[in-house]
Chains A and B, each alone.
Chain A
Amino acid sequence: MTDLHDVALTVNGVPRSARVPARRLLSDFLRHDLGLTGTHVGCEHGVCGACTVLIDGRPVRSCLLFAVSVAGATITTVEGCCEPDGSLGPVQQAFWDCHGLQCGFCTPGFVTTVTAYLDENPDPTQDEAREAIAGNLCRCTGYQNIVASVLRAAELRREVRA
C-alpha cells in the first residue's frame, strides 16, 4: 500500500529529488530525505511556525504539506537565506546583531517568515514588525529582540540597496 513517488523540487536554487511515500510531510522530506535539517519541527499542527519555508517566495508551514503535493515547486529554506558565499544574509545578520535568538530552534521559521515579509513590506513600523512575526512561537526570547531584528533587517536591506 505504500506506493513511492518521485518528488522533484527546486530547493534553495538547486534541483533536488527523492523517492518517498505520499504521506511524507514536506518538513520530513526536507530534513531527512534531503538532509536539510535547518527547518525544524515543533508541533506538526501548523501553530508554532518553526517549520516555515518559502514556496515561490511565500511562507507556508512545511509540516502541513505533503512533499508529493508540492512536487515541482521552488522552495527556500533557512539555508537558502544565506548569501551565495555562505555568509549570513541581512535577515540572519540582523538576528545576530540584535540577539534575536537563544536556543535557535524556532529561529529558522522566523528567518524565512521575515525574509518574505520584508520583500513585500520593506519599511515596517515597530507595530507592523511585531504583527509580522505574530504567527511564530518563541519560548526563549519574549520576542523583544526578534521585533528589533525585523527592524534591523529592514535597515540592512536598505543599506544593501543604497
Chain B
Amino acid sequence: MKPSPFVYHRPTTLEETLDVLAEVGADGKVLAGGQSLVPLLSMRLAAPAHLVDINHVGGLDRIEVRGGGVRVGATARHAAVERDDRAFDAVPLLRQALVHVAHPTIRNRGTTVGSLAHADPSGEMTAVLALLGGTVTLSRRGSERTVGAADFFHGPLESAVVPGEVAVEAFFPAPTGPRTGSAWAEVSRRHGDYAVCGVGALVTLDDDLRVAAARVGLISVGPTPEVVDVTEALRQLAGTLTERALRTAAGHASAASAAGGGA
C-alpha cells in the first residue's frame, strides 16, 4: 500500500502555510501528526494532489496554560500534552483521556489538534473538547476564526475546517469550582483500540459534598461527541449507588492518593 504521488510543501512560517493552503484549496491536505492521514494515503482512500507539511512551522507546537485553560498548538504531540505537568494541573482530564489514545508510540507523533480536526467519532479528544466547552482556532490567509466545540464537529470525520484553512490551536478551558473532579473511562476490545464507548466526566460537589453539577462527554455513541448533563441523574442515584460502584470508586481514590496525584 503506497500513497499516490503528491506535490509536497514544507512551509516554515504560518504565513507561508496559509499562502500555500489558499493556492491549493480543496486539492490540498494538511500533514501534522499523520497517524490518521498517512494510512488513508497508503490505502489510497485519499489522494490529495498537494500535501502541506506543517511540522516545520515555528511556534505551532506550543502548550500553554493561559486565559483560564490549556492552549495546544497545531503540532503539539499528544505525548507532549500528556507529559506536560502544568497542563495536567490546569486540566487533568487531558492526561486522563490521552493515556487512552492509541499507544504511546502513536502519541509520540499524533497531534491533539490534528485529532480534533480529524473528527473521528471515537477520538477521545473530541469528547474532551466538547465536555469542557473548548474551542478551535482556524486560520486562513487574511483571517482567523474561533469555533466552539458544539459547532466544530459536523459528522463522522467531518469538522468545521474548510479547504484553505488550518486549525492552529485548540483551547481547553479549565473546569471551574473548588470541588470539581474529572475522569475518563472507556471500553475497548483490546488495549489501545478505538473505544467501543468512552466517557469523560466532570463532577462538581457543593460544600456539603453533594453533587452540584455533573456532565459527561461520550465518544463512539454517535456521529459526533455527545455531552449529556447528568446532574439530576446522579442526584437521584446518590444513596443507591451499587456496592460494586462504590468499591470501584474507593479503589480509584486510594490508588490516586497512593500515586500522589489527582485533585
**A interface residues with partner B (beta carbon < 8 Å):** 1-3, 5, 21-23, 25, 28, 44-46, 49, 52, 55, 58-61, 63-66, 68-69, 113, 131, 134-135
Q: Contact at B5–A65, with CB atoms within 8 Å?
A: no
Q: Contact at B108–A59, with CB atoms within 8 Å?
A: yes
- C-alpha gap A8/B4 in the complex (Å): 23
Q: Contact at B105–A135, with CB atoms within 8 Å?
A: yes
* Interface residue SS majority, chain B: loop
Q: Contact at A46–B8, with CB atoms within 8 Å?
A: no
**Given the complex, which residues of B lie within 8 Å of A59, measured CB to CB?**
104-105, 108
**Given the complex, which residues of B lie within 8 Å of A113, measured CB to CB?**
105
Question: Which 8 residue pairs across A and B have the least CB separation, nearest first?
Answer: A135-B103, A22-B8, A45-B39, A64-B38, A59-B105, A23-B3, A58-B108, A44-B1
- Knowing A44-B42, A65-B38 are in contact, say whether A49-B105 is a contact too (CB < 8 A): yes
- C-alpha gap A59/B104 in the complex (Å): 8
- Between-chain CB contacts (< 8 Å), 19 pairs: A1-B7, A3-B7, A22-B6, A22-B51, A25-B3, A25-B38, A28-B2, A52-B105, A55-B108, A59-B105, A66-B31, A68-B8, A68-B53, A69-B31, A131-B191, A135-B102, A135-B104, A135-B105, A135-B106
**B interface residues with partner A (beta carbon < 8 Å):** 1-8, 10, 31, 34-35, 38-39, 41-43, 51, 53, 55, 79, 102-106, 108-109, 191-192
CB < 8 Å: which of B8, B102, B108 contacts A60?
B108
**Given the complex, which residues of B lie within 8 Å of A68, measured CB to CB?**
8, 10, 53
- C-alpha gap A125/B147 in the complex (Å): 44
Q: Contact at B39–A46, with CB atoms within 8 Å?
A: yes
**Given the complex, which residues of B lie within 8 Å of A60, measured CB to CB?**
105, 108-109
Q: Contact at B34–A23, with CB atoms within 8 Å?
A: no
**Given the complex, which residues of A lie within 8 Å of B8, measured CB to CB?**
3, 5, 22-23, 66, 68
User: Would you give the shortest CB distance from B222 to chain A, in whole angstroms?
Assistant: 25
**Given the complex, which residues of B lie within 8 Å of A61, measured CB to CB?**
35, 105-106, 109
CB < 8 Å: which of A46, A52, A135 contacts B38?
A46
Q: Contact at B105–A21, with CB atoms within 8 Å?
A: no
- C-alpha gap A69/B41 in the complex (Å): 15
Q: Contact at A135–B192, with CB atoms within 8 Å?
A: yes
Q: Which residue of A lies closest to B33 (CB)?
A: A64
**Given the complex, which residues of A lie within 8 Å of B1, measured CB to CB?**
44-45
Q: Contact at B10–A46, with CB atoms within 8 Å?
A: no
CB < 8 Å: which of B42, B79, B105, B109 contacts A25?
B42
Q: Contact at B104–A45, with CB atoms within 8 Å?
A: no
- C-alpha gap A69/B51 in the complex (Å): 11
- C-alpha gap A22/B53 in the complex (Å): 11
**Given the complex, which residues of A lie within 8 Å of B5, measured CB to CB?**
1-2, 21-23
User: Would you give the shortest CB distance from A29 to chain B, in whole angstroms?
Assistant: 12
**Given the complex, which residues of B lie within 8 Å of A2, measured CB to CB?**
5
Q: Which residue of B lies closest to A132 (CB)?
A: B104
**Given the complex, which residues of A lie within 8 Å of B10, measured CB to CB?**
68-69
CB < 8 Å: which of B39, B55, B108, B109 contacts A44?
B39
**Given the complex, which residues of B lie within 8 Å of A52, measured CB to CB?**
105
- Knowing A113-B105, A135-B103 are in contact, say whether A58-B38 is a contact too (CB < 8 A): no
- C-alpha gap A52/B108 in the complex (Å): 11
CB < 8 Å: which of B41, B103, B108 contacts A134?
B103
